[in-house]
């Protein structure tokens, strides 16, 4: 269970999150929708612990553990995964080396045995096949020269390998064509189950046709202004944010 | 010592020459004597360069000029710790002198310069220019070197060239290496310079390298001398039509280390790779200076140089690409990047293009900065601890430079040097 | 025949001497005796009725200059200059304060007409009182002009309007008398009188130039501009410009220059000093169109100029934009000293060398304050036998944490007898700072030319189009009317050499 209580955060002294309260119970997928500038990306970075995103109040716990006290890598080890809106390119860092280092770091903290190169390759190849990723992506630098769709698939591959307890998908649908969107959605849906929950952050409804959320929250001006079932997403698509926001206000 | 200060900042070297002139190789050969005397004249008149000399504005030789060096003319006998071999054949120089007992040159046309100086006297200073200060200094005092010839059409495989400074004494050695590849010949020359920790010697090697048409020389230099040594290398290279000089320089040791390459592409389709990496830690200065002369059409040059700086250290990159009027269709690319790991590090870079032909494609880039915060965060968000993440990024940065080296043993030697350096300095950076 | 060669042939055949500003105004002048000595320095100072401190300052500069050497490091070559073989003071004989168009020397009027300055501006330029406050034709924003003719300012317009906002815009010789404290405080504070050979020479013998002061919080309501004209023979022009933008003020300043076509080389050694206080912003644009010499390299101006800005205040900003099409030789590095935290320096440059022109130009960005940022965009175009060098320094001091620099240097070569050179110096002593430098060299591709011509453009128009595209990033920084002017100039500069 991811529990966010009255979270406030600022960037360069400017308050962006103005008190967010949200619970994502185990096994559920929640969507956060909202207009540009609502604070969607700030929320995902604040949860993952990015430098420069200063938490000024509130609390965030994952299964009772205080996330805000942790370093970014400790949050990852605790089971939090952020699928980046703009995955970073790491020239010179081989994708395979990166994935194995990350996986083993997390396995170590969980008390699992580390995977050697052969074991890792076996696991990685199997997952890549599911995501229709060409095998040479393992040999290339992390995200270097990847198309937008390949980068997003690489994010989903990492998620599949690291098996987080809660995944935050930060506008994962941006820049994806319909086939890639389906592959990404399938990747998320494959993980759905009692031990996995997700927070899907998106501007548009279309991703939610493929990853059907249990709950939908609307974020505007740093606050959750309204929440509802999947039908809320359809209303937003039909009526736009303005109408829904007016009603909530 | 009787050093006459009126002889300028090179007085100590000139004094040494006065004492050694009769004993240096070639002392009885008038052509060699003339070269040495001319070098003495040049040094007496102008001395070694100060920072007022444009090409030396970032590298101050003052600490080296103040240091005292012991004569190292007498070859050292006895055992010397040798690194693991990376090739079947090796040419070993200990304190600047060729050691036949430690070397194996089977099947190669190779010899010690001191032994064959009579036959090669006419080649001295024909590729490396006597007007270059480090060539001048070497001309004054060279005591030995490797003379290597790969005949036409022969693939000579791989040869290790090892230069070892023994003991902690402050010796000065000035080897002169002459390397010539005949038409279509091939060679991988893997050079390693080592010294015991704490050694304060001066190593001033000069290479004169000729690559004939369609020949290819892969020349990888791994300089891992002590952090209190002085390494001042000069490489003169001429590449003819269709030939390739594929060079890589790693500067990891030395209080002051400078590797200066002057390369001319003299025939169509000739190619040059002047890649390198510099690993600079507390109290060190590393300088990579290159001058690439495109003198013929349809030639290509590639250069990627990476510098990592830890502690209070300085890195220098100076890279000039000259494209002459006749060098149409030149394809020149140069990139130098520096990673600052410390608040007290400094990087000075001066990439330079001088272009007189219009149908060319030339570019250069230079960046300097700290580790990228976004990359660090991305790795940590995937669960990788901060230290590991830093290490991965630094190694990845260097890997990009090293991975262009195609010869596997050479690349292994470089990767090992990078690892050793990071193990020693990564934690304190 | 490949397109490029064909163009080069067109070029060789084309008529030369496209310089359209090369006429000479026949007007009665007053000269100081030829040559340079202490007496001349005193003469100039006396002519301007200067206070003692300024004469002293000039004399100290002159003393320093005598002990200095001409810089030899630029990539330019020229025969030795005989500093004794020139006039250091030349001014039109004064008819004090013309009151109407009729009283202005008709030759001066004609000059401004020929230089293409619109009639209304022309009336104002020549110093007609009362014309200043009339909105300009066609609803355009008026531009206030200071016209410097050889050694003196002959007119400054819109002064009354500017004074309403407390803005001072006047010849520097006048500011010395009217605002001695300001001048004394800032003159030489950015470019000291001993800074370099040409700056010292200028400090000793400068004759006029513009002085601008923008008070706190004032946004200058119009563009200010100075128009420099060298007219007299064997004369050097040594103007001095000083602009001070006080806290929170904003000003955009333009500079233009032309000279007659002569077979002698004339020296122009100006000094420009800019000072920006907290939150102040100065935009300084130059279209340099001094006579470049003929197709054989005979004649032309030696343009040896020192321009520097001190971004003293927090969040201050100085932006240099230059379009350098003229002069036989250009030696010029408009620079920024970024002292104030989060101050910003910019340098946008287009330099064209054609025929035998030589340019060695660039900038220095000295980062001292925290979070300082600089951007350098340089576009060099070499044609004919021209030599074009970008030379720049980016220095980040250890205290400039978080500083950023981005540099882009592109060179375009037209023909194979010219040269394009890039000499950047990048010195970073601050870990958290980031510097990025990129440089490229290329030529106009035949397929680009062919594409344009297939669509009906003439060879010259196609080249003009492509060159303008190449320079777009810089030209868009210019105030609009200047940009149009600059585009035309680019084309004219390449006339008779395009390929």
pLDDT of amino acid C139: 41
Q: How many inter-chain contacts (A to B, CB under 8 Å) are there? A: 79
Answer whether residue C131 shows pLDDT above 50. Answer: no
- Any chain B CB within 8 A of the CB of C399? no
pLDDT of amino acid C365: 97
Orientation of helix B30-46 relative to helix B133-141, angle to 10°: 130
- Out of B169-183, B273-287, C249-263, C275-289, pick the least confident: C249-263
Structure tokens at B133: 């200060």
**pLDDT band for position B47 (cuts 50, 70, 90):** very high
> How close B301 gets to chain C, by Cα (Å)?
14
Q: Which of B372, B380, B393 is opposite residue A71, by nearest beta carbon? A: B380
**pLDDT band for position C468 (cuts 50, 70, 90):** confident
Q: Which chains touch A (3 or more CB pairs under 8 A)?
A: B
- Kindly state the greatest CA–CA separation across chain C: 69
- CB < 8 Å to A82, chain B: 381
- Out of B123-127, B282-286, B410-414, C263-267, pick the least confident: C263-267
Q: Which of C416, C425, C428 is opposite residue B357, by nearest beta carbon? A: C416
Q: Give backbone dihedrals phi and psi of C392, rounded to 5 degrees, phi first.
A: -145, 155
Residue C484 to residues B305, C443, C458, C477, C479: CA-CA distances in angstroms?
43, 24, 20, 12, 9
pLDDT of amino acid C299: 86
Structure tokens at C337: 């000293």
- Any chain B CB within 8 A of the CB of C416? yes
Answer whether residue A157 shows pLDDT above 50. Answer: yes
A247 or C215, which is more confident: C215
List, for residues C394-426, the tens digit of each pLDDT value.
999 999 999 999 999 999 998 888 999 999 999
Number of alpha carbons in the 13 Å side-chain half-sphere of residue B31: 10
C129 or A157, which is more confident: A157
Structure tokens at C46: 């006396």
pLDDT of amino acid A204: 83
pLDDT of amino acid C134: 43
Structure tokens at B158: 């791989």
**DSSP letters spanning C205-250:** H--B-EEEEE-TT-B-SSEEEEEEE--STTB-B-BEEEEEE-TT-E
Interface of B with C (CB under 8 A): 54, 325, 328, 338, 340-370
Q: Which residues pair with C406 in a beta bridge?
A: C375, C436
- Any chain B CB within 8 A of the CB of C428? yes
Structure tokens at B96: 């600047």
Answer whether residue B64 shows pLDDT above 60. Answer: yes
The angle formed by the CA atoms of residues C279, C280 and C282, to the nearest 5 degrees, is 145
Q: Do chains A and C touch (3 or more CB pairs under 8 A)?
A: no
- Any chain B CB within 8 A of the CB of C433? yes
Number of H helices, E strands in chain C: 13, 23
Residue C427 to residues B347, B405, C313, C339, C395: CA-CA distances in angstroms?
6, 29, 23, 17, 5
- The stretches of C306-375 forming alpha helices (DSSP H) are none
Question: Mean of the per-residue pLDDT values for chain B?
Answer: 92
- CB < 8 Å to B384, chain A: 73, 76, 101-102, 105
B377 to chain A: nearest residue by CA?
Answer: A50
* Residues B209, B224: Cα–Cα separation, whole Å: 22
| Under 8 Å between Cβ of C167 and C218 | yes
A101 to chain B: nearest residue by CA?
Answer: B384
pLDDT over 90 percentage in chain C? 45
- CB < 8 Å to B400, chain A: 91-92
- CB < 8 Å to C428, chain B: 338, 340, 346-348, 368-369
> How close A214 gets to chain B, by Cα (Å)?
26
**pLDDT band for position C469 (cuts 50, 70, 90):** confident
* Residues C218, C210: Cα–Cα separation, whole Å: 19
Return the residue matching tokens 């440059």.
Answer: C349
Question: Which whole number is the average pLDDT over B86-112?
Answer: 92
| Under 8 Å between Cβ of C158 and C212 | no
B56 or C454, which is more confident: B56
> To the nearest 10°, the Cα dihedral for C105, C111, C114, C116?
-100
Q: Which chains touch B (3 or more CB pairs under 8 A)?
A: A, C
Question: Which whole number is the average pLDDT over C32-37?
Answer: 86
List, for residues C162-186, the tens digit of each pLDDT value.
889 999 999 899 999 999 999 999 9
pLDDT of amino acid A54: 92
A74 to chain B: nearest residue by CA?
Answer: B383
> How close A247 gets to chain B, by Cα (Å)?
37
ipTM: 0.89
B401 to chain A: nearest residue by CA?
Answer: A92
pLDDT of amino acid B427: 67
- CB < 8 Å to C354, chain B: none
Structure tokens at C150: 């050889």
* Residues A5, A19: Cα–Cα separation, whole Å: 8
| Under 8 Å between Cβ of C224 and C144 | yes
| Under 8 Å between Cβ of B275 and B302 | yes
- CB < 8 Å to C439, chain B: 351, 353, 363-365
- Any chain B CB within 8 A of the CB of C71? no
Question: Which whole number is the average pLDDT over C12-23?
Answer: 56
Reduced to 3 states (helix: H, G, I; strand: E, B; else coil), residue B84 is coil
| Residues in chain B, total | 429
Question: Which whole number is the average pLDDT over B370-381?
Answer: 94
CB environment B376-402: b (16+ within 10 A), e (fewer): bbbbbbbbbbeebbbbbbbbbbbbbbb
> How close A132 gets to chain B, by Cα (Å)?
22
Do strands C90-92 and C210-214 pair parallel, antiparallel, or not at all (unpaired)? unpaired
- CB < 8 Å to B351, chain C: 422, 424, 437, 439
- CB < 8 Å to B361, chain C: 441-442
pLDDT over 70 percentage in chain A? 99
Interface of B with A (CB under 8 A): 372-375, 377-386, 388-389, 392-393, 395-400, 403
> How close B415 gets to chain A, by Cα (Å)?
13
List, for residues A70-122, the tens digit of each pLDDT value.
988 889 989 999 998 888 888 777 888 888 888 888 888 888 899 998 899 99
Q: Which of C73, C416, C428 is opposite residue B358, by nearest beta carbon? A: C416
pLDDT of amino acid C452: 67
List, for residues C83-125, the tens digit of each pLDDT value.
888 888 888 776 544 444 455 666 766 776 676 654 344 445 5
A93 to chain B: nearest residue by CA?
Answer: B396
**pLDDT band for position C5 (cuts 50, 70, 90):** very low
* Residues B361, B358: Cα–Cα separation, whole Å: 9
Question: Mean of the per-residue pLDDT values for chain C?
Answer: 83
CB environment B349-360: b (16+ within 10 A), e (fewer): bbbbbbbbbbbb
**pLDDT band for position C136 (cuts 50, 70, 90):** very low
> How close B407 gets to chain C, by Cα (Å)?
30
Q: Do B366 and C435 touch (CB under 8 A)?
A: yes
- Most confident range, picked from A98-112, A227-241, C312-326: C312-326
C498 or B87, which is more confident: B87
**DSSP letters spanning C74-103:** SS---PPP-TTSSBS-EEEPP-SS--SGGG
pLDDT over 90 percentage in chain A? 45
* Residues C475, C394: Cα–Cα separation, whole Å: 23
User: Domain residue spans in chain C?
Assistant: 3-494
The angle formed by the CA atoms of residues C71, C72 and C74, to the nearest 5 degrees, is 95
B41 or C416, which is more confident: B41
pLDDT of amino acid A249: 66
Structure tokens at B197: 């920790």
B378 to chain A: nearest residue by CA?
Answer: A88
Domains and CATH numbers, chain A: 2-89+150-248 (3.40.50.300)
Question: Which whole number is the average pLDDT over C372-383?
Answer: 95
C114 or B102, which is more confident: B102
H helix or E strand, kind and range, residue B401: helix B386-402
Number of H helices, E strands in chain B: 8, 21
Q: Do chains B and C touch (3 or more CB pairs under 8 A)?
A: yes
SS3 content of chain A, % helix, strand, coil (to 5): 40, 30, 30
- Most confident range, picked from C100-109, C110-119, C227-236, C341-350: C341-350
Answer whether residue C130 shows pLDDT above 60. Answer: no
pLDDT of amino acid B335: 95
pLDDT of amino acid B274: 97
| Under 8 Å between Cβ of C161 and C103 | no
Structure tokens at A201: 């952050």
List, for residues B318-337, the tens digit of each pLDDT value.
999 999 999 999 999 999 99
| Under 8 Å between Cβ of A162 and A103 | yes
- CB < 8 Å to B422, chain A: none
List, for residues C262-299, the tens digit of each pLDDT value.
778 888 899 999 999 999 999 999 988 888 888 888 88
- In 3D space, the residue among A176, C428, C253, A188 whose CA is nearest the CA of residue B307 turns out to be C428
| Under 8 Å between Cβ of B204 and B233 | yes
List, for residues A175-206, the tens digit of each pLDDT value.
788 888 888 888 889 899 999 999 999 988 88
pLDDT of amino acid C28: 77
DSSP state of C188: T
- CB < 8 Å to A72, chain B: 377, 380-381
- CB < 8 Å to B368, chain C: 426, 428, 433-435
Q: Do B373 and A90 touch (CB under 8 A)?
A: no
Structure tokens at B228: 């209190």
Q: Which of B306, B339, B367, B381 is best to mutate for the A interface (most A CBs within 10 A)?
A: B381
Q: Do A72 and B380 touch (CB under 8 A)?
A: yes
Q: Give backbone dihedrals phi and psi of C272, rounded to 5 degrees, phi first.
A: -125, 130
- In 3D space, the residue among A37, A49, A44 whose CA is nearest the CA of residue A20 turns out to be A44
List, for residues C41-55, the tens digit of each pLDDT value.
999 999 889 999 999
Residue C463 to residues B76, C149, C351, C477, C489: CA-CA distances in angstroms?
69, 35, 16, 22, 13
Answer whether residue C11 shows pLDDT above 70. Answer: no
Return the residue matching tokens 């006339």.
Answer: C495
Interface of A with B (CB under 8 A): 48-51, 71-73, 75-77, 82, 84, 87-88, 90-93, 97-98, 101-103, 105-106, 109, 141, 158, 162
pLDDT of amino acid A44: 93
* Residues B237, B246: Cα–Cα separation, whole Å: 11
* Residues B251, B221: Cα–Cα separation, whole Å: 8
* Residues B146, B207: Cα–Cα separation, whole Å: 9
């Amino acid at each position: 269970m991811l529990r966010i209580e009255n979270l406030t955060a600022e960037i360069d002294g400017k308050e962006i999150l103005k008190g967010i309260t949200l619970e994502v119970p185990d096994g559920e997928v929640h969507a956060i929708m909202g207009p540009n500038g609502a604070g969607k990306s700030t929320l995902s970075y604040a949860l993952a612990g990015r430098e420069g995103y200063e938490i000024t109040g509130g609390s965030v716990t994952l299964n009772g553990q205080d996330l805000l006290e942790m370093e970014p890598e400790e949050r990852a080890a605790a089971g939090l995964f952020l699928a980046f809106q703009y995955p970073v390119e790491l020239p010179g860092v081989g994708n395979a080396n990166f994935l194995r280092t990350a996986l083993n770091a997390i396995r170590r903290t969980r008390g699992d045995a580390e995977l050697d190169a052969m074991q890792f390759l076996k696991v990685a190849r199997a997952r890549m096949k599911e995501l229709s990723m060409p095998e040479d992506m393992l040999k290339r630098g992390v995200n270097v020269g990847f198309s937008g769709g390949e980068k997003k698939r690489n994010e989903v591959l990492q998620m599949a390998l690291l098996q987080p307890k809660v995944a935050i998908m930060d506008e994962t649908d941006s820049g994806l064509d319909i086939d890639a969107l389906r592959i990404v959605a399938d990747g998320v849906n494959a993980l759905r189950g009692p031990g996995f929950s997700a927070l899907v952050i998106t501007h548009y409804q279309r991703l939610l046709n493929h990853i059907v959320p249990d709950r939908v929250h609307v974020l505007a001006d740093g606050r959750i202004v309204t929440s509802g079932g999947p039908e809320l997403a359809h209303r937003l698509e039909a009526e736009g944010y303005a109408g829904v926001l007016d009603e909530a206000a | 010592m009787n050093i006459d200060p009126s002889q300028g900042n090179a007085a100590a070297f000139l004094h040494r020459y006065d004492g050694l002139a009769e004993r240096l190789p070639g002392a009885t050969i008038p052509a060699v004597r003339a070269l040495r005397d001319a070098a003495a004249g040049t040094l007496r008149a102008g001395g070694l360069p100060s920072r007022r000399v444009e090409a030396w504005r970032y590298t101050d030789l003052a600490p080296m000029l103040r240091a005292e060096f012991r004569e190292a003319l007498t070859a050292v006998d006895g055992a010397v710790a040798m690194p693991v071999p990376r090739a079947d054949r090796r040419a070993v120089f200990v304190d600047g002198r060729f050691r036949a007992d430690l070397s194996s040159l089977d099947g190669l046309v190779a010899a010690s310069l001191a032994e064959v100086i009579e036959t090669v006297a006419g080649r001295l200073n024909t590729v490396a220019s006597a007007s270059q200060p480090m060539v001048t200094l070497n001309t004054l005092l060279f005591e030995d070197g490797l003379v290597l010839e790969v005949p036409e059409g022969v693939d000579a495989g791989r040869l290790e060239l090892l230069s070892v400074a023994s003991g902690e004494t402050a010796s000065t050695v000035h080897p002169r290496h002459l390397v010539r590849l005949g038409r279509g010949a091939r060679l991988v020359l893997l050079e390693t310079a080592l010294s015991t920790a704490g050694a304060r010697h001066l190593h001033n090697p000069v290479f004169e390298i000729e690559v004939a048409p369609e020949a290819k020389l892969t020349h990888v230099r791994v300089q891992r001398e002590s952090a209190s040594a002085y390494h001042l290398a000069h490489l003169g290279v001429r590449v003819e039509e269709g030939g390739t000089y594929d060079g890589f320089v790693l500067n990891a040791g030395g209080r002051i280390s400078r590797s200066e390459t002057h390369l001319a592409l003299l025939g169509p389709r000739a190619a040059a790779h002047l890649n390198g990496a510099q690993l600079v830690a507390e109290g060190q200065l590393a300088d990579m200076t290159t001058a690439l002369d495109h003198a013929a059409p349809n030639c290509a040059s590639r250069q990627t140089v990476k510098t990592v700086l830890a502690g209070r250290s300085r890195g220098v990159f100076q890279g000039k690409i000259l494209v002459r009027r006749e060098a149409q269709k030149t394809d020149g690319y140069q990139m130098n990047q520096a990673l600052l790991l410390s608040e007290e590090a400094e990087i000075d870079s001066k990439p330079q293009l001088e272009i007189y032909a219009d149908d060319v494609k030339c570019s250069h880039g230079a960046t300097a900065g700290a580790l990228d915060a976004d990359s660090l965060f991305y790795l940590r968000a995937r669960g990788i601890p901060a230290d590991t993440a830093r290490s991965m990024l630094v190694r990845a940065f260097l890997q990009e430079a090293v991975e262009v080296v195609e010869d596997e043993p050479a690349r292994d030697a470089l990767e090992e040097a990078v690892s050793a350096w990071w193990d020693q300095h990564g934690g304190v950076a | 025949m490949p397109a490029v060669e064909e163009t080069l042939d067109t070029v060789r055949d084309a008529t030369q001497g496209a310089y359209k500003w090369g006429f000479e105004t026949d007007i009665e002048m007053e000269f100081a005796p030829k040559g340079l000595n202490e007496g001349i320095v005193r003469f100039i100072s006396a002519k301007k009725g200067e206070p003692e401190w300024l004469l002293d300052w000039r004399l100290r500069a002159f003393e320093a200059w005598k002990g200095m050497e001409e810089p030899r490091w630029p990539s330019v070559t020229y025969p030795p200059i005989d500093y004794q073989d020139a006039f250091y003071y030349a001014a039109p004989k004064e008819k004090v304060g013309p009151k109407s168009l009729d009283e202005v020397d008709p030759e001066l009027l004609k000059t401004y007409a020929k230089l293409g300055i619109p009639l209304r501006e022309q009336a104002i330029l020549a110093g007609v009182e009362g014309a200043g406050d009339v909105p300009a034709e066609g609803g355009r924003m008026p531009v206030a002009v200071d016209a410097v003719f050889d050694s003196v300012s002959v007119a400054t317009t819109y002064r009354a309007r500017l004074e309403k906002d407390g803005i001072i815009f006047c010849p520097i010789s006048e500011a010395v008398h009217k605002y001695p404290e300001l001048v004394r405080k800032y003159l030489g504070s950015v470019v000291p009188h001993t800074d370099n050979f040409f700056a010292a020479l200028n400090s000793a013998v400068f004759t006029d130039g513009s002085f601008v002061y923008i008070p706190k919080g004032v946004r200058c309501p119009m563009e200010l501009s100075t128009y420099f004209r060298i007219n007299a023979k064997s004369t050097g022009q040594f103007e001095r410009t000083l602009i001070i933008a006080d806290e929170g003020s904003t000003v955009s300043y333009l500079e233009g220059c032309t000279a007659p076509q002569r077979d002698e080389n004339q020296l122009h050694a100006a000094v420009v000093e800019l000072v920006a206080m907290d939150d102040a912003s100065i935009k300084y644009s130059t279209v340099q169109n001094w006579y470049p010499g003929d197709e054989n390299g005979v004649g032309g101006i030696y343009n040896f100029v020192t321009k520097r800005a001190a971004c003293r205040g927090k969040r201050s900003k100085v932006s240099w934009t230059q379009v350098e099409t003229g002069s036989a030789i250009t030696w010029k590095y408009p620079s920024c000293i970024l002292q104030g935290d989060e101050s910003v320096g910019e340098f946008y440059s287009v330099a064209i060398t054609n025929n035998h022109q030589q340019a060695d130009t660039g900038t220095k960005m000295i980062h001292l304050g925290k979070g300082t940022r600089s951007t350098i965009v340089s576009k060099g175009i070499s044609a004919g036998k021209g030599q074009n060098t970008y030379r720049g320094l980016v220095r980040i001091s250890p205290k400039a944490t978080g500083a950023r620099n981005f540099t882009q240097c592109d060179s375009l070569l037209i023909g194979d007898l010219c040269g394009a050179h890039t000499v950047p110096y990048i010195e970073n002593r601050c870990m958290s700072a980031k510097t990025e430098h990129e440089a490229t060299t290329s030529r106009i591709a035949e397929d680009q030319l062919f594409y344009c011509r297939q669509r009906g453009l003439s060879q010259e128009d196609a080249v003009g189009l492509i060159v303008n595209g190449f320079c777009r990033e810089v030209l868009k920084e210019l105030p609009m009317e200047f940009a149009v002017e600059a585009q035309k100039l680019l084309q004219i500069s390449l006339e008779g050499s395009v390929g």
